[in-house]
Amino acid sequence: MERVLLVRYGEIILKGLNRPIFEDALMRNIRHRLRNEGKYKIYKSQATIYIEPAEGDDQTDRIHEKLKKIFGIVSIVVAYKTEKSMEGIYNIIPDSIGDVLKNAKTFKVEAKRSDKKFPLKSPQICEEVGGFILDNYPNLTVDVHNPEVVVHAEIRDDNAFVHTGREKGIGGMPVGTGGKAALLLSGGIDSPVAGYMIAKRGVALEAVHFFSYPYTSDRAKDKVLKLAGIVSEYVGKIKVHVVPFTEIQVQIRDKCPEEYLTLIMRRFMMAISERIARENGCDALVTGENLGQVASQTMLALGVTNDAVDMPVFRPLIGLDKNDIVEMARDIGTFDTSILPYEDCCTVFTPKRPATKPRLEKVVKYQQLLDCEKLIEEAVAGVETIIV
Ligand code: ATP
Ligand code: MG
């Protein structure tokens, strides 16, 4: 028995001229994500993408799992394919959806006929298939309002399909349709979630990570690469730019007042990220900042940080509670890696009493005690880029 995956995508963004761009991007992303899943046929017809695996059942399950992580997919149906006739439909019902039917009490049939030359119209198909099911599954009665099982019978151009309903996809828009942004990726809980949220709106990602060897270990770097790897299951390939940050942190520590250490450091992070972003065709920065979470994320502190760059900065977690962020991290699959105990560069040089109501002029004045341009250029020159 052949199983086929039917993928549906959102309706609202499909209006007008954007539709082909959106569909092509989604098809491309699906192909790319399934490149190691063996042979299959993929085509679209009537706002549905069909994926027909060529190599058996295992492959269908693997493809199904991958589809659950592709943005732009609103629903996924595993349908059983048969010849385009009522006989064909009757023949596969027992083996395909028979178990579901045996274990329910009520059902209804919904039919769809996109081949208008098929001899029966949709209401007749419903009636015939319903009759067949009633004859063969005496446990069932019809309930058109609130059925336990909805049997879908679809007559398409070349084949007929039977299934019992769709499963939700992760939604969003196909990655790449919204440009590309640079995610400031730490080893924490927040930034991978922030990246996921922006990618869900169709944005491809590169990542920038600040690394303070020997204050932070190679294990901290591996952790970040692992996080990038988990996010890339949804986003596709991610270039991770690892920036040597020790010299900047040491100089800030030695030359600037302690209460401003974090903020000056964050301004450097933003400025360096912006350069890397521009060099790599990214048009915005993304951070995991969250209002009020720590001293460097008060409203005034965020203002000081933001002032260091011209590019738009997206902070999709700004108004969420930590609990909600943690829940998302668990759903996405990053949480367990994020809580591994390796130090990240911010925790190494944390002031005891950070400024919570910083004045921009002051911070800028202290930052100018350093040769910022030179430090930034050296850091950018030392970037190591790893593709995950
Ligand atoms: P996270 O859980 O993402 O580490 P956080 O609550 O620890 O966030 P901060 O350490 O203040 O918050 O960092 C705020 C944001 O700055 C992070 O979400 C991330 O986007 C960025 N950031 C912090 N440290 C780094 C780093 N070492 N490399 C790259 N980006 C960083
Ligand atoms: Mg952090």
How far is residue 126's CA from residue 122's CA, in Å, rounded to a whole number?
6
What pLDDT sits at residue 76? Answer: 97
Which ligand 1 atom minimizes the distance to the CA of 207?
Answer: 29
Say which residue the tokens 């949709």 belong to. 122
Q: What is the pTM of this model?
A: 0.93
The binding-site residues of ligand 1, defined as CB within 6 angstroms of any ligand atom, are 184-186, 188-191, 208-210, 269, 287-289, 293-294, 296, 344-346
Q: Whose CA is nearest to atom 23 of ligand 1?
A: 186
Within 8 A by CB and 6+ apart from 321, the residues are none
**Residue ranges of the chain assigned to CATH 3.40.50.620:** 180-387
Is the model more confident about 349 or about 198? 198
CATH superfamily for domain 180-387: HUPs (3.40.50.620)
What is residue 182's three-state secondary structure?
Answer: strand
Out of 183, 190, 243, 342, give the residue to mutate to test ligand 1, the one with the largest number of ligand atoms within 8 Å of its CB. 190
Element (H, E) at 288: none
Report phi then psi at 160, rounded to 5.
-110, 155
Mean pLDDT over all residues of the chain?
Answer: 94
For 48-97, how does the pLDDT look when each residue is reduced to its tens digit (9 = 90+)? 899 999 888 789 999 999 999 999 999 999 999 999 999 999 999 999 99
What pLDDT sits at residue 349? Answer: 78
Q: Whose CA is nearest to atom 31 of ligand 1?
A: 186
Q: Whose CA is nearest to atom 22 of ligand 1?
A: 186
What are the angstrom distances between the C-alpha of 370 and each of 56, 251, 255, 353, 378? 63, 7, 8, 22, 13
Q: Say which amino acid occupies 337.
A: T
Q: Which ligand is nearest to the CA of 224?
A: 1
* pLDDT class of 346 with cuts at 50, 70, 90: low
Task: Give yes or no for residue 260 having a pLDDT over 70.
Answer: yes
Which ligand 1 atom minimizes the distance to the CA of 193?
Answer: 3
Q: Please, how many CA atoms are within 13 Å of residue 193, restricted to the half-sphere of its CB?
A: 26
Considering the domain 2-168 in this protein, what is its CATH number? 3.30.2130.30
CB-CB neighbours of 105 under 10 Å: 11
Q: State mean pLDDT over 355-363.
A: 94
What is residue 243's three-state secondary structure?
Answer: strand
Task: Give yes or no for residue 347 having a pLDDT over 70.
Answer: no
Out of 183, 184, 261, give the residue to mutate to test ligand 1, the one with the largest number of ligand atoms within 8 Å of its CB. 184
What is residue 30's three-state secondary structure?
Answer: helix
Out of 205, 293, 346, give the residue to mutate to test ligand 1, the one with the largest number of ligand atoms within 8 Å of its CB. 346
Report phi then psi at 9, rounded to 5.
-125, 170
If you ran DSSP here, which 8-state letter would residue 271 be given? H
User: What is the rounded end-to-end Cα distance, in angstroms, of the chain?
Assistant: 37
For 174-224, how does the pLDDT look when each residue is reduced to its tens digit (9 = 90+)? 999 999 999 999 999 999 999 999 999 999 999 999 999 998 889 999 999
What pLDDT sits at residue 13? Answer: 66
**Burial category of 381 from C-beta neighbours within 10 Å (exposed 0-12, middle 13-18, buried 19 and up):** exposed
- CB 155, CB 125: distance < 8 Å: yes
**Burial category of 323 from C-beta neighbours within 10 Å (exposed 0-12, middle 13-18, buried 19 and up):** exposed
Say which residue the tokens 């030179």 belong to. 374
Which of 347, 260, 335 has the alpha carbon at shortest distance from 304?
A: 260
What is residue 123's three-state secondary structure?
Answer: helix
How far is residue 159's CA from residue 83's CA, in Å, rounded to a whole number?
5
For 280-335, how does the pLDDT look when each residue is reduced to its tens digit (9 = 90+)? 999 999 999 999 888 889 999 999 999 999 999 999 999 999 999 999 999 999 99
**Residue ranges of the chain assigned to CATH 3.30.2130.30:** 2-168
Which ligand 1 atom minimizes the distance to the CA of 288?
Answer: 18
Which ligand 1 atom minimizes the distance to the CA of 183?
Answer: 20
How far is residue 257's CA from residue 188's CA, in Å, rounded to a whole number?
26
Neighbours of ion ligand 2 (CB under 5 A): 186, 188
